[in-house]
Amino acid sequence: MDPSGTNHDHEEDDSGEVFLNEEDILHEMNVDDEELPEADEDDLGSDRAGADFEYNDEDDSMHTFTGHTGELYAVVCSPTDPSLVATGGGDDKGFLWRIGQGDWAFELQGHNDSLSTLVFSNDGLLLASGSLDGVIKVWDMPSGNLRCTLDGPAGGIEWLRWHPRGHLLLAGSEDSTLWMWNADKGAYLNMFTGHASSVTCGDFTPDGKTICSGSDDATLRVWNPQTGDTLHVVRGHPYHTEGLTCMAMKTGSAGSTLAITGSKDGSVHIVNINTGKVVTSLIAHLDPAHPETAHSDSVECVGFAPSSLWAATGGLDQKLIIWDLDHSVPRSVCDHPDGVTCLTWIGSSRYVATGCLDGKVRVWDSLSGQCARTFSGHLDAIQALAASANLDFIVSSSLDGTARVFEIHELK
């Protein structure tokens, strides 16, 4: 349009439609009908996962696994085979596949509900897959065969963990119980009861002698794995006021008695497992001059740094916070454009990776608090992250139905 009202010599037919004169044509291009691409439904817009995201053809991944037909919830990398990855999701399927081999996949068949969690044993010989129907399957990695099927919980499996030095498998369930089996024999060992709501997180201690579990009932429980007895119950002030969402154990002999937990209430606490006492509370009142450095929404992921007394926490308040646990203060606050759903420290390096609701994977330098890399490619929220055994790759699973592999070897 020309707001100046200048008269342009355009022809106009009786219906009022305007046509260009020949002198207005800059360039003619012959287009063969056969060269025109067919319209794709996804390009035209659909109700698939990720349709609310702005279209962006930027993809930093070096490999994309597309074997699933639904949302992905879990991804794990083998601790011994740098190329081996397992994924599970809402299509009731799990797959084993290899980085760089897009056509290689072994389906973990037999589940009748969404695969919510996957975990390799520490020696890499077994893989356990847990489903929302309460069933767990254990797979033999050398052969790919099903080793055993474990059941018992009346609710969905929230998480699975292997004993640090054996094939004992621990599971937390939506029915408020924990279960433990000997996977080599396919034998039930113990059930742990006491929580009043879904058991949302848990693990063995690094020495394998104790079990910790967190629940939506806002408590942390410490258990004797042999007897099933409760050793400690952590609850009430100064602990969480709402349900626990995540937990991590400090590895290494110096800090093997510490657990860090995050909650829907936005608080983070460090507990001494031996005594059952809260030793540090990483919340706003510790730094009243800078309350913005504490989480203001649900904490979704926590993790101790492998080589220092630091910790990382991520929340729906769009923050990753690196904490100096010696002084119980934030070392740096790493802002995201959307909520942080998962994190993983990259080996013993200073880098920590985050997955975000905006579909991006970011790698942060914990020393400077600066973002070292941002990886694009996903079209919906990231649900889980895992680093390959050789730390050359980070693998992400997303609600967009894909798992993507990003190169990080330069950050080791």
| 12 beta partners | 18
Strand ranges across the sheet with 115-120:
115-120, 126-131, 136-140, 146-150
Query: Do β-strands 361-365 and 371-375 pair in parallel, antiparallel, or remain unpaired?
Result: antiparallel
Kindly calculate the radius of gyration of the chain based on its CA atoms and give it in whole angstroms: 26
> Which DSSP letter does residue 371 get?
E
Long-range contacts of 206-213 (CB under 8 A, 24+ apart): 206/164, 206/249, 206/250, 206/251, 206/252, 206/256, 207/164, 207/256, 208/163, 208/164, 208/165, 208/166, 210/273, 211/170, 211/178, 211/180, 212/247, 212/249, 212/259, 212/273, 213/172, 213/178, 213/247
The two tokens of residue 99 are 């980085």
Cβ-based burial of 182 (10 A; exposed 0-12, middle 13-18, buried ≥19): middle
In order of 66, 174, 319, 348, the CA distances from 330 in angstroms are 39, 33, 12, 20
| 382 beta partners | 398
Per-residue pLDDT tens listing for the chain (412 residues): 433 333 444 444 444 444 444 444 444 444 344 343 333 333 333 333 333 445 557 999 999 999 999 999 999 999 999 999 999 999 999 999 999 998 889 999 999 999 999 999 999 999 999 999 999 999 999 999 999 999 999 999 999 999 999 999 999 999 999 999 999 999 999 999 999 999 999 999 999 999 999 999 999 999 999 999 999 999 999 999 999 999 999 976 544 689 999 999 999 999 999 999 999 999 654 455 555 558 999 999 999 999 888 999 999 999 999 999 998 889 999 999 999 999 999 999 999 999 999 999 999 999 999 999 999 999 999 999 999 999 999 999 999 999 999 999 888 7
Predicted TM-score (pTM) of this structure: 0.84
Distance CA 15, CA 356 (A): 54
pLDDT of residue 211: 98
pLDDT of residue 410: 86
pLDDT of residue 307: 85
The two tokens of residue 15 are 């219906």
Distance CA 350, CA 327 (A): 19
